[in-house]
Amino acid sequence: MKIQNSVALVTGANRGLGLAFAQGLLAGGARKVYAAARDPASVTLPGVEAIKLDVTKADDIEAAARALADVSLLINNAGISRGSGFLGDDGLIAVRAEFDTNFFGPLQMSCAFAPILAKNGGGAIVNVLSALSWVNMPTSSTYCASKSAAWSLSNGLRNELRGQGTQVLALHVGFMDTDMVRDVKAPKSKPEDVVAQTLAALEAGKSEVLADEVSRRIKQNLSAEPGVYLVPPVAA
């Protein structure tokens, strides 16, 4: 997938990693960048086209797919973390909300845009996952479950979209310096570095990008004895 002349749609593009994606795509020569946000007025980056899109709202997704027939690159970036365990008072509420946004959001977006990508030569989907797709932290068990499910979604979409020539790239990363982990005291990657690695991986035709040391270490230790997923990670 070449970034030059691509037409990209980034969900949650008003801030955080999504904003960095929009900036990186413009710098990389994308022909058009649709910056989707729940509140399009919150998109202030010059050079992009703001789109109203809540990834949990089927009507918004259908309207976007009707309006944006030229998309060749879909970046499923929007995500939430409620910082919840499974067993707390609000665990079930949190896990449903996180699955709605982090799993069903990318799923419905991918279903809606797969035919459009096919018409535009195959194109690509980037799913923003996490190092926490592979391990579970007690302080955010429900979020981890949603990112594990989204990892499986990415692997399944890749299989199902191979025939139409759509590249599906899974991005795994530990903490990044965004609002989501504002209160976490741990080393964090810069979103622009994560974007640079992701766009390079797209151009190289890859299926997976591990954008920091934490994600690389966790993946490597899945097959350790004991597997890294059997003990809570120190910093992921």
Ligand X SMILES: NC(=O)c1ccc[n+]([C@@H]2O[C@H](COP(=O)([O-])OP(=O)(O)OC[C@H]3O[C@@H](n4cnc5c(N)ncnc54)[C@H](OP(=O)(O)O)[C@@H]3O)[C@@H](O)[C@H]2O)c1
CA–CA distance, 182 with 111 (Å, rounded to integer): 32
Residue with tokens 């008003």: 14
- Contact (CB, 8 A) for 34 and 9: yes
Distance from C-alpha of 12 to C-alpha of 111, rounded to nearest angstrom: 18
d(CA 151, CA 228): 17
Nearer to ligand X, 15 or 216 (CB): 15
Question: Cβ 118 to ligand X, closest distance in Å?
Answer: 24
Q: Does 15 bind ligand X (CB under 6 A)?
A: yes
Q: Rounded to a whole number, what is the distance in angstroms from the first to the last CA of the chain?
A: 29
The three-point CA angle 21-27-28 to 5° equals 85
- Name the residue nearer to ligand X (CB basis): 124 or 132: 132
> Does 28 contact ligand X by CB under 6 A?
no
Out of 27, 180, 196, 235, the residue judged to bind ligand X by CB under 6 A: 180
Choice between 44 and 207, CB closer to ligand X: 44
According to the binding rule CB under 6 A, does residue 18 interact with ligand X? yes
Mask 194-213, x = binds ligand X (CB under 6 A)? --------------------
- The verdict on 181 binding ligand X (CB under 6 A) reads yes
Out of 8, 51, 54, 233, which residue is the one contacting ligand X (CB under 6 A)?
54
List the interface residues with ligand X, window 113-172 (CB under 6 A): 128, 130
Say if strands 73-76 and 49-52 run parallel, antiparallel, or are unpaired. unpaired
Q: Does 176 bind ligand X (CB under 6 A)?
A: yes
Under the binding rule (CB under 6 A), the answer on residue 80 touching ligand X is yes
Distance CA 105, CA 156 (A): 15
Question: Shortest distance, CB of residue 209 to ligand X, whole angstroms?
Answer: 12
Q: How far is CA 60 from CA 57, 106, 109, 116, in A?
A: 5, 13, 10, 16
The bridge status of strand 73-76 relative to strand 167-172 is unpaired
In three-state secondary structure terms, 74 is: strand
- Given 99, 113, 134, 175, the residue binding ligand X (CB under 6 A): 175
The single-letter code of the amino acid at 199 is L
| # residues contacting ligand X (CB under 6 A) | 28
Q: Which is nearer to ligand X, 118 or 137 (CB)?
A: 137
Radius of gyration of the chain (CA): 17
Question: Residue 214: helix, strand or coil by DSSP?
Answer: helix
Active-site residue (options: 21, 113, 134, 143)? 143
143 is catalytic: yes
Q: Which stretches of the chain bind ligand X, using CB under 6 A?
A: 11-12, 14-18, 37-39, 42, 54-56, 77-80, 101, 128, 130, 173, 175-176, 178-181
The set of catalytic residues is: 143
